[in-house]
Structure 1
Amino acid sequence: MSRTTAALDASLPDDWEELVTTAVLGTERRTPAGAGRGVEAAAALLDAAAAATVRRRAGLRPAPAAERPEPAPEDPRPALPAAAARRLAMLLADRPGAAGGGRRGTAPDLMELLPQWLAAANARGYAPPPAVLPALLDAARGRTDLRPAALRFAGPRALWLARLNPDWRFALRSAPGGGTSVTDGRDPDGTRRLWQEGLFAERVALLTALRSRDPAAARELLAGTWATERAEDRLMFLDSLRSGLGPDDEPFLERALADRSRNVRATAAELLSALPASALAGRMAVRAGACVAVDRTRETPALVVEAPHECDADMERDGVVAKAPAGRGERSWWFGQLAESAPLGTWSRRLGGRTPREIVALPVADDWRSELHAAWCRAAVRQRDPAWSRALLGPPSAPEAGGPGAVSLAERAKLLGTLDPAERAEWVAGFIETHGLSEAFQLLGVCAVPWAAPLGRAVVDALNIARDAGSYPWSFSGVMGLAERCLDPSEAGRLDALLAVPDEPEDASPGAGGYWSEAFQRLVTTLRLRAAMLAELSPPAP
């Protein structure tokens, strides 16, 4: 070390900020103490900075050692077969592209197959390879629709990882207690403590999980703190009672009808009206029945409607909203709420013992048909009544695509949801054969996956007809995307004849034939990939 450096080492404070300031200003404007001017000052500053750097690095006090995390819990489920593990890694490595069948090329959209793969793996009870857990959590973080299946498949080790990485904290919020077993009935104190002290999302998850296992215990937990909850929280908690709703819930819901929040009262009334034997349903039956009668003085019997002239305090207490939306008549608004809340069994007794199909077929006087049938649609969905749903849907081949009662595609889709999967698929297949695919997209979304054979054939035949007609191909991209995910993989062999580029009619969209060929090739490739996925997840025969 030079004499000048030694002097500076003794005279300069070991202040890094001071050294930086001197360097920024320059040694000509701010000469270090004990140093000459010019080159000597600059060299002295650099020597001091070097010495300070060494001291800073060597003089750090060691921090206390962090507590070593507990080992990750064991996952007792059987390991994935090797081929399935490789397939999962491939699916997770894919990046989302364009949605549905609107993309070009013949390569399958692997990210769209991940939900099906997870569902199949969960059904078979497999555990994931530990190495894929970070990618699986990243995928679930980016797609909320994946989270329930992904977290179920990931198992307890995912929660262990989530405590170490803030990016994966959603996994802790999705599991009551962050993965504790408070809902298995063995830790009532832990359940009560989490309910009283947990974050809102944790409490919702806890109540939902407990409701699915023990509806009475969940209801009692909610009743214990009901009076102290915020209105918006009471609404969310009350909504969880939809799962496992039964007659035992009626006393609690009746008390909720007196809640100070209008939204809470309306939700309580809706839940009570889904219980046909409840006292509220009985009161609504009396009110709605007084509004509808059969006029037998006409040549053909018809229904006549006399809507209520006022919304009294008792109606409001039972969930009837007095103020009508803009553009809606008050009387029709009140009547619709009464009719949708009355038990559907009321109408057969009230209207001469007629069946739902006979009641729906009756003409309705004075333009009340749409209002009455729309209310019955809502009631059929709420009460899960397949007989009324069939009557309101009508035959799928009816000339009017809306059916005798449904007023929109969305309502038809909800009505279909009350039917068993086989009947639902058969109805939608008949609808497609009569009305084509353009009206059916929303209805396809409520059909069970994989599609039943009649529905799959109807979709493929309709796509083939559209191709041969030279239709604008991108109009069917959404249906093609659904077919890739929902068509039974066994249908792949039937599609081989559709892979060639068809002859294009003169009025066809330019390039339509090539698009159709690509789309069908992608469909076949995807179906065969799905078949391979399922085979890889199936244990070998003994």
Structure 2
Amino acid sequence: MNRTSAPDRPAAQAAPAAWEELVTSALLGTDRRPPATGGPRRAAPVALLDAAALETVRRRAGLRAAPAVRRPDPAADDPRPALPAAAARRLALLLADRPGTGSGGRRGTSPDLKELLPQWLAAANGHGYAAPAESLPALLDAARGRTDLRPAALTFAGPRALWLARLNPDWRFALRAAPGGAAAPGPDTPERVRQVWEEGLFSERVALLSALRSRDAAAARELLVASWATERAEDRLMFLDSLRTGLYADDEPFLEAALSDRSRNVRATAAELLSALPASALARRMAARAGSCVSVDRTRDVPAIVVEAPLECDTSMERDGVVAKPPTGRGQRSWWLGQLVEAASLGSWSRRLGGRSPREIVALPVADGWQAELHAAWCRAAVRQDDAEWSRALLGAPSAPEAGGPGAVSLAERAKLLGTLATAERAEWVAGFIATHGLSEAFQLLGVCAVPWAGPLGRAVVDALDIARDAGSYPWSFSGVMGLAERCLDPAEAGRLEGLLAVPDESEDAAPGAGGYWAEAFQRLMTTLRLRATMSEELAPPRPSGP
């Protein structure tokens, strides 16, 4: 039976028009478009708001029920242990923190919580905790806005993050960026692996290949070989780049074949990967070419390296990845020489240069102004081949003039060389650099040191900050290092900061008020270190009860 009478139908049809009338009045203003409702004693804005409230309730009450839809399947269970209650409350505070609105370079003494979130996530993942369900939306929102958070955040969020990402388009990044290929099929489902590889979106195929590469490098390579001939050039380049994970000798035949690819970028990437395998045929070919250009002149009073750069770039050199055309302002021959040396196996130089060690080779003078070019190429080779012995030789002693070492020509290059050293050795070298040269050039070098900083490195940083304070400058000149110290200094160093909290007497040449600003900065540093210690205690698993 139809319960809607004929007089009711026009009223129902007029409802959208009434709402549009109210919206128009709100947009134009009640002075220009007074609302149709309300008496003469009521102010027009009040009448408009009352009418809008009434119309909103009526519109909601009059909604027609939608057809029922199938409920989504429940999220997979997360078998990991629950986060301790104190740590869960801390996570909520970290996710709720927003950047401050202060100006003038002052941050106060409160810790910057948003910068502690990555460290908190790393520690939580180290304990193997599962994320509280109520924190997942805020966690995914934070990872959406900060790509640096995504690997740790998605590891912590677990399978429920992927379940949520399928329901909210704003979180779809989780399906592509899940660490370790969490969205990819497992090794026990080969049919599904093949289906995703043949039918999936490009992002899904990249995630699948990376996931397979991390657990079975040979299987990932075989999957790539099967479809290589039919892939687009830009896709081949992305897929080839995935071989950097776990690169090993068995990849050489495939990479050698890729040197003949029709795409120049694919050929260049294949050559770069082959040169990272010192025993590869390409590395040996490059060593032979480079060796014919570099030799030791023993006729001089002091033996020296002499260089005869290539006269041409032939087709075989181009096939092995040498780019023939140099950048603007760069000489052709020096450009070709640098590419040959950086791709040559570093182990070949000792045989070609009189059995000398890397340190002895780097110490030799280089004739005719070729030293910078030759040593820079050796630096690139040491990083590419992850050769710690050559890196030590090229870095030199941290106390050397300008701390440049024989071959390091820039801070960025030194940082890359340090990345090949063991954690403790890296921290020791940077501590020596800071002790000799201060903090003015230390920011990039500190960024490659493991967290928390080793004791000698932490003490060197604190001592250098103390010296900078005594020099009378403002702490804002060292805000980058101070920010790193808040995140990376061992919390055990907090006690050493107590003596730096007092405002020192200002000398005549000191910047006005600098002492107070330094005291504030050290107070914030100490507060942050103690907060980090508390966070670590909150994440510690509960001790078993018993006698």
TM over 0.5: yes
Once residues 11 and 211 of structure 1 are traced to their aligned partners in structure 2, the CA distance between those partners, rounded to angstroms, is: 65
What is the distance in 2 between the residues matched to 1:101 and 1:458? 28
Give the Cα–Cα distance (whole angstroms) in 2 for the partners of residues 120 and 348 of structure 1. 44
> What amino acid is the match of 1:221?
L
Residue by residue, what CA displacement relative to the aligned partner does 1:72-123 show, whole Å, maximum 9, x if unpaired? 2211000011111111111111013479995420000001000000000001
Aligned partner of 2:218 in structure 1 is 216
Shift of 1:178: 8.6
Secondary structure of the 1:234 match is helix
Alpha carbons of structure 1 residues 483 and 100: separation in structure 2 relative to 1, 3 Å: farther
Describe how 1:142-153 pairs up with structure 2 within 5 A.
142-153=145-156
- For the pair 1:157 / 2:146, whether they are aligned, the reply is no
Distance in 1 separating the partners of 2:305 and 2:385: 23
Greater displacement, 229-238 / 274-283: 229-238
Change (3 A) 1:324 1:101: farther
Offset of residue 13 of structure 1: 11
Match of 1:435? 437
**CA distance in structure 1 between the aligned counterparts of 2:484 and 2:180, rounded to whole angstroms:** 37
1:377 & 1:162 partners in 2: Cα distance?
43
Change (3 A) 1:267 1:98: farther
Q: Percent identity?
A: 79
User: How far apart, in 2, do the equivalents of 1:23 and 1:324 lie?
Assistant: 68
What is the rounded CA distance, in whole Å, between the counterparts of 2:136 and 2:74 in structure 1? 15
Q: How far is the alpha carbon of 1:176 from its aligned partner?
A: 8.6
Task: Check whether the contact 2:394–2:405 (CA below 8 A) recurs between aligned residues.
Answer: yes
Q: 2 CA distance for matches of 1:356 and 1:299?
A: 21
TM (norm. structure 2) is: 0.88
Give the deviation of 1:210 after TM superposition.
Answer: 1.1
Aligned position for 2:134: 131
What letter is aligned with 2:335? W
The AA in structure 2 aligned to 1:386 is A
CA displacement at 1:181 relative to structure 2: 5.3
Q: Are 2:74 and 1:80 aligned?
A: no
- Equivalent position amino acid for 2:414 in 1: R
Deviations 1:320-357 (A, max 9, x none): 00000000000000000000000001110000000000
Shift of residue 149, structure 1, vs aligned partner:
0.2
Contact 1:100/1:477 (CA < 8 Å) preserved in 2? Answer: no
What secondary structure, in the 3-state scheme, does the structure 2 residue paired with 1:294 have?
strand
Any stretches of 5+ residues in structure 1 without a counterpart? 1-5, 25-52
Aligned partner of 1:503 among 502, 505, 513: 505
What residue is the counterpart of 2:233 in the other structure?
A: 231
Per the alignment, in what secondary structure is the counterpart of residue 306 of structure 2?
Answer: strand
Relative contact order higher in (CA < 8 Å, ≥ 6 apart): 1
Superposition deviation, residue 147 in structure 1? 0.5
* Partner Cα separation in structure 1 for residue 132 and residue 300 of structure 2: 73
Choose from 75, 86, 97 the match for 1:94.
97
Cα distance, 1:372 vs. partner? 0.2
Aligned equivalents of 1:134, 1:338: Cα separation in 2: 51
1:303 aligns with 2:323: no
SS in 2 for 1:490: helix
Q: 1:400 deviation in Å?
A: 3.1
Structure 2 residue aligned with 1:357? 359
Contact 1:159 1:178 in 2 (8 A): no
Larger Rg: 1
Match of 1:326 in 2: 328
Q: Distance in 1 between matches of 2:533 and 2:329?
A: 52
Counting only pairs closer than 5 Å after superposition, residues 372-387 of structure 1 correspond to structure 2 as 372-387=374-389
Aligned-partner SS, 2:66: coil
Match of 1:111 in 2: 114
Distance 1:438 1:12, change over 3 A: closer
The amino acid across from 2:155 in the alignment is R
Alpha carbons 1:163, 1:169 under 8 Å: kept: yes
Distance 2:287 2:428 in 1: 33
Residue 507 of structure 1: how far off its partner (Å): 1.1
Within 1, Cα distance between the matches of 2:138 and 2:16? 47
Deviation at 1:10, TM superposition (A): 10
Matches within 5 A, 1:115-514: 115-175=118-178, 179-180=182-183, 182=185, 184-514=186-516
Distance 1:193 1:356 in 2: 50
How many equivalent residue pairs? Answer: 508
CA apart distance, 1:540:
3.1
Aligned to 1:36: none
* Contact 2:181–2:211 (CA under 8 A) maintained in structure 1: no
Q: Which amino acid aligns with 2:197?
A: W
Letter in 1 for 2:318: E
User: Aligned partners of 2:9, 2:145: CA distance in 1, in Å?
Assistant: 57
C-alpha distance in structure 2 between counterparts of 1:294 and 1:312, whole Å: 25
SS at match of 1:400: helix
What is residue 50 of structure 1 aligned with on the other side? none
Q: Deviations over 1:247-298 (max 9, x none)?
A: 1000100111011111111110010011111110111011000000101111
Q: Could you list the per-position Cα deviations for residues 347-372 of structure 1 after superposition, in whole angstroms to 9, with x for gaps in the alignment?
A: 10000000000000000000000000
CA-CA distance at 1:164 after TM superposition: 1.4
Alpha carbons of 1:66 and 1:179: their partners in 2 closer, same or farther (altered >3 Å)? farther
Is 1:63 paired with 2:45? no
Quote the offset at 1:468 in angstroms.
1.1
1:450–1:350 distance in 2 versus 1, CA, 3 Å: same
User: Alpha carbons of 1:399 and 1:57: their partners in 2 closer, same or farther (altered >3 Å)?
Assistant: closer
Secondary structure of 1:366's partner? helix
- Residues 535, 316 of structure 1: CA spacing in aligned structure 2 closer, same or farther, 3 A cutoff? same
Partner SS, residue 159 of structure 1? helix
- Whole-Å separation in 2 of the counterparts to 1:516 and 1:224: 62
Aligned partners of 2:176, 2:58: CA distance in 1, in Å? 46
Of residues 217-226 and 142-151 in structure 1, the stretch that sits farther from structure 2 once superposed is 217-226
Q: TM-score, normalised by structure 1?
A: 0.89
Q: CA deviation at 1:68?
A: 0.8
Residues in 1 aligned to 2:62 and 2:542: alpha-carbon distance in whole angstroms: 62
- SS of the counterpart of 2:305? strand
Tell me how far 1:179 sits from its aligned partner: 4.7
Give the C-alpha shift of residue 124 in structure 1.
0.5
Change (3 A) 1:296 1:453: same
Q: Which amino acid aligns with 2:163?
A: W
1:32: which partner in 2?
A: none
* CA distance in structure 1 between the aligned counterparts of 2:255 and 2:57, rounded to whole angstroms: 72
Equivalent-residue separation in structure 2 for 1:293 and 1:23 (angstroms): 88
User: Amino acid of the residue matched to residue 68 of structure 2?
Assistant: A
User: Which stretch shows the higher mean deviation, 480-489 or 494-503?
Assistant: 494-503
- Give the letter aligned to residue 296 of structure 2: V
**Distance in 2 between the 1:401 and 1:54 partners?**
73
CA distance in 2, matches of 1:427, 1:441: 14
AA aligned to 1:262 is: R
Distance in 1, matches of 2:511 and 2:224, equals: 60
Secondary structure of the residue aligned to 2:441 is: coil
> Distance between the aligned counterparts of 1:66 and 1:186, measured in 2?
33
For the Cα contact (< 8 Å) 1:174–1:202, is it kept in 2? Answer: no
